[in-house]
Structure 1
Amino acid sequence: MNLLSKRIYLFYFSIVAIVISIILLVVPGLPLGIDFTSGSTITYRWEDKNPTQDQISESMEKAGFDTSIIQSMGNKEFFIRTSDLGLNGKEKIDDQLKDLIGELPVTLDVNTVGSSVAENTIRNSIIAVFIASLFVMLYIIYAFRNVEQAYLYAIAAIITLIHDVFVVMGLFILISLFVGSVVNSIFIVGILTVIGYSVNDTIVIFDRIRENLIINKSTEFINVVNMSVRESVTRSLGTSVTTSIVILSMLLFGGQSLRDFLIVLLLGVIIGTYSSIFVASNLLLTWRYGLRK
Structure 2
Amino acid sequence: MFIVNNRKFFFLLSAVLILASFFSIWKYGFNLGIDFKGGSVLEVSYAGTRPEKEVISAELNKMNLGNFILTPSGDKNFILKTLELSAPEKVVVMSAFQSDPNNIAKEEKFSSIGPVVGEQLKKKAVVAIAIVLICILLFITFAFRKVSKPVASWKYALVTIIALLHDVIIPTGFFVVWNHFTGGEIDLLFVTALLAILGYSVHDTIVVFDRVRESLRDGVTKKPFVETVGEAVSQTMARSINTSVTTFLSLTALYFVGGETTKDFALLLLVGIVVGAYSSIFVASPLLVTLEKFQKN
The alignment's TM-score, normalised by the length of structure 1, stands at: 0.89
* Alpha-carbon offset, residue 54 of structure 1: 4.4
Corresponding position: 1:41 with 2:41: yes
Q: What is residue 274 of structure 2 aligned with on the other side?
A: 270
| Residue deviations 1:12-42 (CA, integer Å, cap 9, x gap) | 1101111111122222123321101111122
2:137, 2:27 → 1: CA distance? Answer: 31
* Alpha-carbon offset, residue 203 of structure 1: 0.8
Q: What is residue 6 of structure 1 aligned with on the other side?
A: 6
Q: What is residue 282 of structure 1 aligned with on the other side?
A: 286
2:173, 2:133 → 1: CA distance? Answer: 20
Corresponding position: 1:195 with 2:195: no
* Alpha-carbon offset, residue 208 of structure 1: 0.7
1:252, 1:52 → 2: CA distance? Answer: 21
Amino acid at match of 2:176: I
The alignment's TM-score, normalised by the length of structure 2, stands at: 0.88
Matched positions, count: 290
In the TM superposition, what are the counterparts of 1:1-293 in structure 2 within 5 Å?
2-48=2-48, 51-73=51-73, 75=75, 77-99=77-99, 103-148=103-148, 149-177=152-180, 179-214=182-217, 215-289=219-293
* Alpha-carbon offset, residue 251 of structure 1: 2.2
1:64, 1:30 → 2: CA distance? Answer: 23
Contact preservation (8 Å) 1:24, 1:170? yes
2:102, 2:92 → 1: CA distance? Answer: 15
The change in CA–CA distance for 1:192 and 1:286 in structure 2 (over 3 A counts) is same
Structure 2 SS opposite 1:88? helix
Amino acid at match of 1:183: I
* Alpha-carbon offset, residue 102 of structure 1: 7.3
| Structure 2: stretches of 5+ with no match in the other structure | none
Amino acid at match of 1:69: I
Contact preservation (8 Å) 2:18, 2:166? yes
* Alpha-carbon offset, residue 249 of structure 1: 1.8
Contact preservation (8 Å) 1:160, 1:276? yes
| Residue deviations 1:103-144 (CA, integer Å, cap 9, x gap) | 552334322111111011011111110110001000010001
1:110, 1:32 → 2: CA distance? Answer: 19
| Residue deviations 1:74-103 (CA, integer Å, cap 9, x gap) | 746433221111121110112244358875
Contact preservation (8 Å) 2:72, 2:260? no
Overall identity of the aligned pairs, in %: 32
Amino acid at match of 1:246: S
